Amino acid sequence: MSTATNFFERQDDARRNTSWLVALFAVAVVLVILALSVPLFLNGRVQEGLLVGGVVGAVVLLASGYRLLQLRGGGRVVAEGLGGRLLPASTRDPAERRLLNVVEEMALASGVPAPPVYVMDDEMQINAFAAGLRPEDAVLGFTEGCMRRLPRDELQGVVAHEFSHIKHGDMRLNIRLMGLIFGLMALVYLGWTIIRIGFHSAAMARKKEDAGGLALVLPGLALVVVGGLGAFFGSLLKAMVSRQREYLADASAVQYTRNPAGIANALRRLGDLGSSVKHKNAAESSHMFFGRGVSSLFATHPPIQKRVKAIDPGGQWTSGKLPPEPEIQLESRGVQSVPGTGAAGFVGHAAVAAAQATTVRVQDAVGDAADDLLGAVASVFAVLALEDEDPPDVPLRGLADRGLQHIAEEASRLLPRISRLRVDDRLPFLEHALPVMAGLSESQYHRIREAILAMIQRDGGVTLLEAATGRMLIGRLDRRFRGHADPKRNRTSAQLRGPINVLLRGLAEAGHPGDPAAQSSLSQEQSVRLGFGFEVNGPAPRVRELDEALARVARLEPEAAARLGELAVLFVEADGQVRAEERELLALVGSALDLSFKPALDSGAG
């Protein structure tokens, strides 16, 4: 069996085991409710049994919902709560620069946008974490020891591991399980409250020779025992789920880096140097760490020996001398190396290579224009000004009218550099600039958001790049600043056949403009992937029509959305090159479907 097949099978095993454990967790919650209501049913007290079951279920749900609301703070809140310091993109510290470069490399390899990076200063043991509910509000955190003491290939393995947690939704899953455990513990708190009330009532009633207060003690005791057992086994199951996700993340790290030795040696070094985190909040966040943040009976991470053995069943990296700790040289900004080709069957190498070429071109053209907050905001307006029908200085004057004179001046200063970008590189540049804008305050963001949307709509027409910018803005930043709920994703491909046809017609026209024969051939080849036929011939849809179709397609169920995303990439890559219009359409699709993907081909535009 090939190495690639091994790791993909291990990923499937970890996902399957997680599904079983989450199902068992749900069963445990139901058993708690039944344990408190069934005795009443058996005594013929059906109405009381239903009432008790309903009340217990309501307590668990309400307490869980309350805890989930408390935990909905973005990854930034978690990182700062652990003493993390945000790394600026313009840093000149060699270790910090290397870490940011590796994060960017693994973002390309995994197809996940590069999140903000935090460092826990003075934490010299080896550890890291990913935090946040969604990729849009995710952050990565690293101990100073992890940043400075690991060789580059080992650091790549650790960073890739954390990207897996973001990509596979592990953070959201953990938070949901934490909420349910809190709901079960609420039964214990309620039980103790009832017991105290019972004893207090009994003491007050003793003078009246009335023992009625003691009648509350038994129900209270039942809540404590059953709720406590439920929380106990729930915590065990949560730890088991976390351990399976760690195996999945280790296997994914090999997939992203194509270098099993990197993640394996990082684990061995972690075992030698330790992974403890001294911060007072480390215990409650231990499930998020790369290594065990604290020692615990309910271990959220498998033993290091088992993790290394899962990566390398033959034991190639389980013994021998580790490479020495590195002397870190200052790297230039951006992607420094594409992971090696490794075993056949690993995905993403061509996509990473193409993205690396784009990154180098963008860096050569604009340098550090979007590395700081003001530069990132001004760069977005400069790109949009170049998309406008009027000369760039005309839309930029509108910023001054909105009280954003300093941004207009910076955008004007950056225009010569931004105009050097190839047309097809403007979108990748914006993808780098938009996440930097997460550093805005909430009030600043609302003003900037309104100004961006106004500039997009200023000339009465919307280009694909403008539409993609608007969707990325809403998709990546609105959730952080405005708390928008995700749309319900419960529609099948057949139910959304119309808007899917509009989308695919747009992709076919972008890839084969004015060539109905090629478009028809493409549609026939790919129809089977969605389970129904579709016809892409016809007039090319307008940008607004595409945007409206994507708003509806955003409700596709996750599996169908993933298939549509794969199909969109196939449409784009069918003729062997990626045009700027196709890349912009892919960005629209990705923002609408909440997917990240990179075409495996470099742009064909000159």
| Residue 277 to residue 145: CA distance in whole angstroms | 11
Rg (CA), the chain: 27
DSSP sequence for 436-460: HGGGS-HHHHHHHHHHHHHHHHTTS
> What's at 273, amino acid-wise?
L
Known catalytic residue at 48: no
Rounded to 5 degrees, what are φ and ψ at 400?
-60, -35
| Residue 201 to residue 40: CA distance in whole angstroms | 24
| Residue 523 to residue 390: CA distance in whole angstroms | 38
Rounded to 5 degrees, what are φ and ψ at 89?
-65, -20
User: 86 - beta bridge partners?
Assistant: 118
Catalytic one of 123, 136, 154, 162: 162
CB contact burial 129-146 (16+ within 10 A = b; e otherwise): bbbbbbbbbbbbbbbbbb
Q: Do 597 and 569 touch, CB atoms closer than 8 A?
A: yes
| Residue 10 to residue 475: CA distance in whole angstroms | 32
User: In the structure encoding, which two tokens stand for residue 284, read together?
Assistant: 């409650």
User: In the structure encoding, which two tokens stand for residue 558, read together?
Assistant: 């996750």
| Residue 335 to residue 68: CA distance in whole angstroms | 37
Specify whether the backbone of 122 is left (phi greater than 0), alpha (psi in -120 to 50) or beta. Answer: left
Residue numbers annotated as active site: 162
